């Protein structure tokens, strides 16, 4: 009984772990539940400069107006669009009436507040490096992209960075105050729009959350836990079966119910390395090659084999192989 | 050769634990083969993984992008492949362990050997010899129906 309890606890744990992984597989890639990110909000109402961005703002659509800072621009290599490897051109954009976060020091007064905006994609490095935003008022609708972690890019040419990272941009443009996050424009209007112009391709605002995605890794773990649960169950079942078999064998012939008496025949004695196919064949009525012997030639088929032995054994085959 | 098979009753000196059914005996033989194959595959995968890790974290300049070929991450592929091989290896160990009626502790040793480089090869040789000895010592009986 102790073993039953142990196995039940073990199996419950394993199945529970499996269920947890299934849950993870379904929801791991979901972002925090958020209010309608699809609804366009005024930029200055949701974002503050120099303040951490709450996770719920990822993918939030915003509208804003402002102007480009054409000199504050970086090129990000290693980006992919429609399977092509190329460069992002990211330019700082100064929104009108930008708000500062609460925790900004006094030195903020004479600095410009700006947010990195993805202006476009190109496979050509020269096009990327020479692209320049126009000056003038711009209105745009954009999606907030998450801030990326800083990545070392020592080997990169001047003006290029590996990721759109706030901390790296601050170092590059010390006169700017920026946001934690960047914008992926959906549309820009105005004379100086400069989104996806002069050789740059438009980068569609892709969602960072993989909603409804099924995580294969977690699904794999779920299957693995189920396999372990199966092993535990099998182990226990075999213990029971062994016990039962041993009792039946131990009873001997005299204590057995005469109606279903079972007599056993030794098919492999100690010292032999394998079961004697001929003995097995006599027991089961199957040809010897079904029990591991060499297959006889076709011409002298199994007819001669099966006729060699007694007729008491031709009833039911007993789990030969 | 063609003498009448002995009845169990004529051999009262059996140790009950050495009496095997035909099914268990053949299953154990198959498990031994499967275990050998999986020990070799898992051992090889683990060696590949070890080399890959050494390259990625100790030799390559940038471990984040090393072995990353245009969207195909070789490092991750090796890791995942090894992971699944190991699960199949565990099943093989379990099968053999069960048919040999070894303890749970022995199963854990077999399982751990699969995560130490080269260990699965060494243990496999030892286990193989032991299983052969135990199979040779077994008395296999079949019900006379």
Q: What would the pLDDT profile of B119-145 be if each residue is shown by its tens digit?
A: 989 999 999 999 999 998 888 888 776
CA A96, A97, A98, A102: dihedral to nearest 10 degrees? 180
Give the distance from residue B49's alpha carbon to the nearest chain A alpha carbon, in angstroms.
18
The verdict on A241 and A156 lying in the same domain is: no
Phi, psi torsion values for A88, nearest 5 degrees? -95, 140
Tokens of A38: 């699809």
Each residue's pLDDT tens digit in chain A (321 positions)?
677 888 889 889 999 998 888 888 777 665 544 446 677 788 888 777 777 666 656 678 888 888 888 888 888 888 888 778 888 888 888 888 877 766 555 555 667 888 888 888 888 888 888 888 888 888 888 888 766 777 766 677 788 888 887 777 878 888 888 887 888 888 888 777 778 777 788 887 765 544 445 677 788 888 888 998 998 888 888 888 888 877 776 665 445 555 556 677 788 877 777 887 777 777 777 777 777 777 766 654 444 444 444 444 434 444 444
The verdict on A270 and A245 lying in the same domain is: no
The verdict on A80 and A171 lying in the same domain is: yes
CA distance B129 to A266: 24
Domain count, chain A: 3
Q: Is residue A228 part of a domain?
A: yes
Among candidates B83, B139, B145 on the partner chain, residue whose Cβ is nearest the Cβ of A318: B145
For residue range B50-74, what is the model confidence (pLDDT) as tens digits? 998 888 888 877 766 677 776 677 8
The verdict on A60 and A158 lying in the same domain is: yes
Determine the 3-state secondary structure of B86 from DSSP: helix
Q: Is residue A109 part of a domain?
A: yes
CA distance A215 to A234: 29
The verdict on A67 and A109 lying in the same domain is: yes
Domain encompassing residue A287: 265-321
CA distance A304 to B72: 61
Phi, psi torsion values for A159, nearest 5 degrees? 90, 0
Pairing mode of beta strands A176-177, A112-113: parallel
CA distance A17 to A256: 46
Q: Is residue A35 part of a domain?
A: no
For residue range A215-251, what is the model confidence (pLDDT) as tens digits? 777 888 888 889 989 988 888 888 888 888 777 766 6
Task: Assess A235–B contact: CB distance below 8 Å, yes or no.
Answer: yes
What sign for the dihedral angle of Cα A55, A61, A64, A70?
positive
Pairing mode of beta strands A137-145, A61-81: antiparallel
Cβ–Cβ below 8 Å for B6 and A246: no
Asked whether the beta carbons of A59 and A183 are under 8 A apart, the reply is no
Domain boundary pick from A224, A241, A260: A260
Domain map (residue ranges) of chain B? 16-44+79-141
Q: Is residue A14 part of a domain?
A: yes
CA distance B45 to B120: 11
The verdict on A177 and A269 lying in the same domain is: no
Nearest alpha carbon to residue A285 among A258, A247, A261, A312? A312
The verdict on A171 and A57 lying in the same domain is: yes
Count of helix runs (H) and strand runs (E) in chain A? 7, 9
The verdict on A25 and A144 lying in the same domain is: no
The verdict on A218 and A145 lying in the same domain is: no
The verdict on A273 and A235 lying in the same domain is: no
Chain A, nearest residue to B24 by Cα: A321
Q: Is residue A181 part of a domain?
A: yes
Give residue for tokens 């907030």.
A144
CA distance A170 to A113: 11
ipTM of the complex: 0.72
Nearest alpha carbon to residue B139 among B7, B50, B36, B39? B7
* Residues from chain B contacting residue A263 (CB–CB below 8 Å): 7-9, 143-144
Asked whether the beta carbons of A201 and A81 are under 8 A apart, the reply is yes
For residue range A271-290, what is the model confidence (pLDDT) as tens digits? 777 887 777 777 777 777 77
CB atoms closer than 10 angstroms to residue A206 = 10
Domain boundary pick from A189, A224, A249: A189
Q: Is A297 buried (19+), middle (13-18) or exposed (0-12) by CB count in 10 A?
A: exposed
CB atoms closer than 10 angstroms to residue B18 = 12
Task: Assess A268–B contact: CB distance below 8 Å, yes or no.
Answer: yes
Cβ–Cβ below 8 Å for B136 and A271: yes
Average pLDDT, chain A: 75
Phi, psi torsion values for A242, nearest 5 degrees? -60, -45
The verdict on A9 and A55 lying in the same domain is: no
Asked whether the whole model's pTM tops 0.80, one would answer: no
Model pLDDT, residue A60: 80
Q: Is residue A227 part of a domain?
A: yes
Residue to mutate among B4, B16, B22, with most A CBs inside 10 A, is B22
Residue B93's H or E segment, with its range, is helix B74-99
Among candidates B101, B140, B143 on the partner chain, residue whose Cβ is nearest the Cβ of A268: B140
CA distance A27 to A210: 9
* Residues from chain A contacting residue B144 (CB–CB below 8 Å): 262-265, 283, 313
């Amino acid at each position: 009984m102790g073993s039953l309890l142990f196995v039940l606890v073990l199996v419950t744990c394993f199945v529970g772990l499996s269920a947890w992984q299934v849950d993870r597989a379904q929801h791991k890639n979901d972002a925090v539940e958020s209010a309608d990110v699809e609804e366009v909000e005024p930029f200055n109402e949701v974002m503050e400069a120099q303040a951490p961005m709450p996770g719920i703002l990822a993918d939030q659509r915003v509208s804003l107006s402002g102007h480009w800072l054409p000199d504050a621009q970086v090129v990000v290599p290693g980006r992919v669009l429609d399977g092509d490897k190329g460069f992002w051109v990211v330019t700082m954009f100064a929104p009108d009436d930008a708000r500062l976060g609460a925790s900004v020091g006094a030195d903020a007064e004479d600095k410009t507040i700006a947010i990195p905006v993805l202006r476009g994609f190109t496979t050509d490095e020269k096009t990327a490096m020479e692209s320049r935003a126009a000056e003038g008022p711009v209105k745009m609708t954009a999606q907030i992209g998450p801030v990326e972690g800083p990545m070392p890019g020592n080997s990169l040419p001047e003006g290029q960075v590996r990721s759109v990272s706030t901390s790296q941009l601050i170092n590059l443009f010390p006169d700017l105050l920026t946001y934690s996050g960047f914008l992926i424009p959906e549309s820009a209007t105005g004379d100086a729009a400069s989104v996806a112009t002069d050789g740059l391709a438009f980068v569609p605002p892709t969602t960072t959350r993989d909603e409804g995605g099924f995580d294969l890794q977690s699904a794999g773990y779920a299957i693995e836990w189920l396999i372990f649960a199966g092993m535990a169950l099998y182990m226990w079942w075999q213990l029971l079966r062994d016990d039962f078999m041993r009792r039946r064998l131990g009873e001997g012939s005299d204590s057995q119910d005469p109606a279903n008496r079972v007599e056993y025949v030794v098919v492999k004695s100690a010292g032999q390395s394998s079961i004697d196919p001929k003995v097995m064949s006599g027991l089961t009525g199957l040809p010897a090659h079904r029990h591991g012997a060499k297959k006889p030639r076709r011409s002298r088929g199994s007819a001669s084999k099966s006729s060699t032995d007694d007729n008491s054994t031709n009833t039911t085959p007993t789990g030969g192989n | 050769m063609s003498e009448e098979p002995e009845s169990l009753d004529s051999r009262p000196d059996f140790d009950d634990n050495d009496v095997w059914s035909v099914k268990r005996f053949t299953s154990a033989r198959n498990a031994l083969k499967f275990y050998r194959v999986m020990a070799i595959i898992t051992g090889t995968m683990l060696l590949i993984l070890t080399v890959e890790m050494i390259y990625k974290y100790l030799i390559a300049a940038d471990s984040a992008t090393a072995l990353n070929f245009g969207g195909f991450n070789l490092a991750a592929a090796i890791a995942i492949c090894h992971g699944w091989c190991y699960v199949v290896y565990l099943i093989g160990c379990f099968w053999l362990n069960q048919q040999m009626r070894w303890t749970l502790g022995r199963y854990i040793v077999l399982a751990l050997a699969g995560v130490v480089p080269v260990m699965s090869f060494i243990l496999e040789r030892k286990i193989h010899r032991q299983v052969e000895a135990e199979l040779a010592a077994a008395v296999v009986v079949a019900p006379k129906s």
